[in-house]
Amino acid sequence: MSIQTLHEISEALETKKISSEELVTESLRVIEEKNPNLHAFIEVFDDATAQAREIDRRRRKGEALHPLAGIPIALKDNILVQGKIASAGSRMLQNYRAPYDATVTSRLKEADLVIVGRTNMDEFAMGSSTENSYFGPTKNPWDDARVPGGSSGGSAAAVASGMVPLALGSDTGGSVRQPASLCGISGLKPTYGRVSRSGLMALASSLDQISPCARSVEDLAWLMQVIEGQDPLDATTAILESTSVPSLIPQNVKGLRLGVPKEYFVEGMDEEVKRKVMEAIGKLEQAGAEILEVTLPHTPYALAAYYLIMPAEASSNLGRYDGLRYGYASQDQTLVGSYEQSRSEGFGAEVKRRIMLGTFALSAGYYDAYYKKATQVRAKITQDFDEVWKRVDAVVCPTSPCVAWKLGEKMEDPLAMYLSDIYTLSANLATIPALSVPCGFAHDLPVGLQFMTRRFNEDLLYRLGMTYQSLTDWHRQMPGVIL
Ligand code: GLN
């Protein structure tokens, strides 16, 4: 099959050149072939084919269906699907069944997309390599000795290997953009407040955003049409016009001003990655964009601020896993013993590390010195971007300072792992939207280009990404079968 874009798949479904059952069967076949090695999925749902058949039946009857009806999609294991297990990659929730649908899940169901399974992730979305999953790591489809990035590594690897054309992940500090970059696909972190967090397991509530993965920016934009929008179940969602449908997005960058932050091309960044990113920026310049150097002076403090705010919020969010209400419960029958043992046995090392860091940062005497200071730095980082928007329409930079590394390489060095988030976490701190697109290969592995812009200006990111993808074919290069 040479079908590539969602638009083409949708047309083929509409004109009955292909059925949803065929699409889902093909998706399951690729999963069966590749998942034993890649381990992108933790579970494949056995009702997917029946759902596809039902959608085909309704289509044959002439029912008007959503353009994406019948298309397979995968969900990260921290997004609730009623009646299915949602484990967040943790032993703690290994047997936890979701009692309700996340808002994004109900929107996908209303549009009749077929959810084929749940994808692997770093435990509670803490990590940059998917190696922190209780269920074992996911491998990179380009090189199975390497990590896919994380924490949404399962979703990114599932799309990159052709198992599904679409997947959802969550992005708190880069967890969709960084694996998208390392796996050679497109990933978007929407503005905080564009997509409902209801039914997403909370990691750091002021940073989390459910985020799509796809093979092109156009496909991301189609998926956003389904999941975005105000939701009474999440008071932080904004009342807004929806983003434009992709067919209405102009495909040129003429006259747009793009800022290259000088703090983002620092020592320690892979030279080959830098070269690819500079080439991509050159391409945008040739296409008529004006490239300017800009400064985001508080960038050197972003990592420290993030790794205080994120663990602080996570430590309080994860307080609910106490072995009593739900989740893993130890055999210990004493009150304190049962808390201690359930949490000691149920959580992995990285989760414990962050709970300790976060609890420390919030504790009396240290709150002002650490947590409060970090929130002040966060405000400064937001102001840096506000200043930049006075000069340019968007920022363009790398997504990750390096390509996919070897499995195990950074497991003993948490700081080295944290450093791979250096270019992504500022967008979460500043609550702005950011997009990663493939822009070539370094050391034979994919490199990602990142765009960031003002809050709620996703349309501009689509325009930049779609124009770039109309000029290049990096996004079409994928390992293995393409649906
Ligand atoms: N890698 C980052 C972290 O470990 C980002 C996580 C995320 O976005 N969920 O915190």
Class of domain 1-483: alpha beta
Q: How far apart are CA 424 and CA 429, in angstroms?
A: 9
pLDDT at 13 over 80: yes
Contacts of 334 (CB under 8 A, 6+ apart): none
Buried b (16+ CB within 10 A) or exposed e, 431-440: bbbbbbbbbb
Which of 131, 152, 425 has the most ligand 1 atoms within 8 A of CB, as the residue to mutate?
A: 425
Contact 51, 65 (CB under 8 A): no
CA 122 / ligand 1 centre spacing (Å)? 9
Q: Which pLDDT band holds residue 483 (cuts at 50, 70, 90)?
A: very low
Active site residues: 76, 151, 175
pLDDT at 80 over 70: yes
Q: How far apart are CA 462 and CA 170, in angstroms?
A: 19
pTM score above 0.85:
yes
pLDDT at 2 over 70: no
pLDDT at 1 over 60: no
Across residues 250-271, what is the average pLDDT?
Answer: 92
By C-alpha distance, which of 108, 104, 131, 107 is closest to 120? Answer: 131
CA 420 / ligand 1 centre spacing (Å)? 10
Contact 153, 121 (CB under 8 A): yes
CB atoms inside a 10 Å sphere around CB 356? 12
Cis amide leading into 128 (omega within 30): no
Contact 198, 174 (CB under 8 A): no
Ligand 1 contacts (CB < 6 A) are 125-128, 151, 170-175, 203, 310, 421
**The predicted structure's pLDDT at residue 242:** 85
Q: In what order do the strands lie in the sheet with 257-261?
A: 41-44, 114-119, 72-76, 166-170, 210-214, 186-189, 434-442, 445-453, 394-398, 257-261, 290-294
**The predicted structure's pLDDT at residue 482:** 36
CA 390 / ligand 1 centre spacing (Å)? 29
The region of weakest confidence among 284-293, 320-329, 425-434 is 320-329
What is the tens place of the pLDDT at every residue in 190-211? 999 999 999 999 999 999 999 9
Q: Break the chain into its structural domains and give their ranges.
A: 1-483
Mean pLDDT of the chain: 95
Q: Residue 85 — left, alpha, or beta (φ > 0 → left; ψ -120 to 50 → alpha)? A: beta
What is the tens place of the pLDDT at every residue in 129-174? 999 999 999 999 999 999 999 999 999 999 999 999 999 999 999 9
pLDDT at 481 over 50: no
Q: How far apart are CA 477 and CA 372, in angstroms?
A: 45
Ligand 1 atom nearest to CA at 171: 8
